[in-house]
């Protein structure tokens, strides 16, 4: 990483924090106007995890010295009055997670970039899981080159009451080739395994509202409080607190990105005939289809439909696939 490059570790809409990872020394920045315009297709041209170039030679600018405190305040300075670095360029991403902005007709939203894994937190109940939602996120991970890990959280609440539901869920996704970790923040089950997994690189924590993402992060490192977002609160003055994307360093190594709870997840830049390519178990079965291409819906000699009948591909995953084929165009670019 060059001297004028850093990683975005917090995104609060119009204000950012940067740090030269693996050093944890955040400092404030704003976005240059032309960078915003050049990526206008996205609601956020800069995402947490982006490697960016910045300038500090502008009037009032400052180069963060090595002894800047965690919040990014210059020595002897006031956090709220600290001059800002200016982001001038977003460097190419090696991967990212993106979703359709369902309240906008043509725009999308990049959740995070340059990730080593996406930890997808789900719960069977409280809130009740929506498998089509999870499968959309998994397809997106496959499309954009992010390794997903599924965390089935709150198992202490329903394992005794619904053991078959737990077993069925784990079976569906392990057979599809995904790593599933069962966790409970209350009992500590699975937390050590998850902590070890996240001890290297950058891990995005994502999921629907209420599944316990922030509790999982706090369980990994009790010194963190992702709900409050202590890092540089003075700089951001509490703005956009419900939509913050923020990275945290873990005491045991690695970095985690906390994201707001998701309520919808539309696919981006994916044609109907491409969707099956991103269901690993369907892709493997489709090599034996009689016709190419095959939509796996009505064609005779379809190996995917046979795999569903034989239990190789789960009916739940196949139904998610069919739902994606039929989705309203508002979920697609």
What digits encode the pLDDT tens for the residues 32-78?
776 655 555 677 789 999 999 999 876 544 455 444 434 444 333 34
- Among 177-191, 255-269, 287-301, which stretch is predicted with the lowest mean pLDDT? 255-269
CB-based contact 255:201 (threshold 8 Å): yes
Q: Per the domain annotation, does 116 fall within a domain?
A: yes
Q: Could you tell me the residue range of the domain that residue 41 belongs to?
A: 5-90
- Is the domain of 84 the same as that of 100? no
- Is the domain of 191 the same as that of 77? no
Residue 112 pLDDT > 50? yes
- Is the domain of 31 the same as that of 121? no
- Is the domain of 130 the same as that of 174? yes
User: Cα separations (Å) of 54 from 34, 84, 108, 248, 275?
Assistant: 13, 10, 25, 21, 38
Helix or strand or coil: residue 247?
A: strand
- Is the domain of 232 the same as that of 299? no
Helix or strand or coil: residue 215?
A: helix
Long-range contacts of 160-169 (CB under 8 A, 24+ apart): 162/124, 162/125, 165/124, 166/124, 169/124, 169/129
Domain count, the chain: 3
Q: Which of 90, 125, 157 is the last residue of a domain?
A: 90
Q: Which of 90, 119, 143 is the last residue of a domain?
A: 90
Write down the pTM of the prediction. Answer: 0.83
- Is the domain of 139 the same as that of 64? no
pLDDT, the chain, mean? 83
| Closest by CA position to 307, among listed 275, 332, 284 | 284
Tell me which H or E stretch contains 110.
Answer: strand 108-113
- Is the domain of 83 the same as that of 106? no
- Is the domain of 58 the same as that of 43? yes
Q: Per the domain annotation, does 321 fall within a domain?
A: yes
- Is the domain of 20 the same as that of 82? yes
Band the pLDDT of 1: cuts 50, 70, 90: confident
- Among 156-160, 278-282, 315-319, which stretch is predicted with the lowest mean pLDDT? 156-160
Q: Which of 56, 90, 124 is the last residue of a domain?
A: 90
Band the pLDDT of 272: cuts 50, 70, 90: confident
């Amino acid at each position: 990483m060059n001297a004028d490059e850093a990683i975005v570790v917090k995104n609060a809409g119009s204000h950012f924090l940067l740090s030269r990872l693996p050093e944890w020394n955040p400092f404030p920045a704003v976005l240059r106007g032309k960078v915003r315009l050049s990526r206008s297709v996205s609601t956020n041209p800069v995402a947490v995890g982006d490697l960016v170039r910045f300038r500090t030679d502008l009037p009032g600018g400052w180069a963060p010295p090595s002894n800047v405190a965690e919040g990014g305040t210059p020595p002897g300075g006031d956090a709220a009055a600290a001059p800002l670095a200016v982001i001038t360029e977003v460097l190419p991403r090696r991967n990212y997670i993106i979703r359709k902005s369902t309240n906008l007709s043509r725009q999308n939203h990049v959740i995070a970039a340059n990730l080593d894994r996406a930890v997808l937190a789900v719960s069977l109940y409280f809130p009740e899981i929506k498998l089509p939602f999870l499968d959309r996120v998994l397809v997106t991970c496959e499309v954009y080159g992010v390794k997903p890990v599924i965390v089935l959280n709150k198992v202490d609440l329903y394992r005794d009451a619904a053991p078959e539901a737990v077993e069925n869920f784990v079976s569906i996704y392990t057979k599809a080739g995904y790593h599933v970790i069962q966790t409970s923040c209350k009992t500590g089950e699975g937390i050590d395994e998850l902590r070890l997994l996240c001890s290297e690189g950058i891990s995005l924590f994502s999921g629907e509202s209420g599944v316990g993402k922030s509790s999982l992060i706090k369980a990994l490192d009790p010194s963190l409080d992702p709900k409050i977002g202590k890092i540089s609160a003075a700089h951001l003055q509490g703005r956009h607190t419900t939509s913050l994307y923020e990275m945290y360093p873990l005491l045991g190594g690695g970095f985690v990105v906390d994201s707001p709870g998701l309520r919808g997840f539309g696919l981006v830049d994916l044609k109907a005939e491409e969707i099956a390519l991103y269901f690993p178990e369907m892709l493997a079965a489709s090599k034996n289809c009689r016709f190419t291409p095959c939509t796996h819906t009505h064609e005779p000699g379809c190996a995917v439909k046979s795999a569903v009948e034989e239990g190789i591909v789960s009916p739940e995953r196949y139904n998610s696939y069919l739902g994606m084929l039929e989705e309203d165009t508002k979920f697609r670019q």
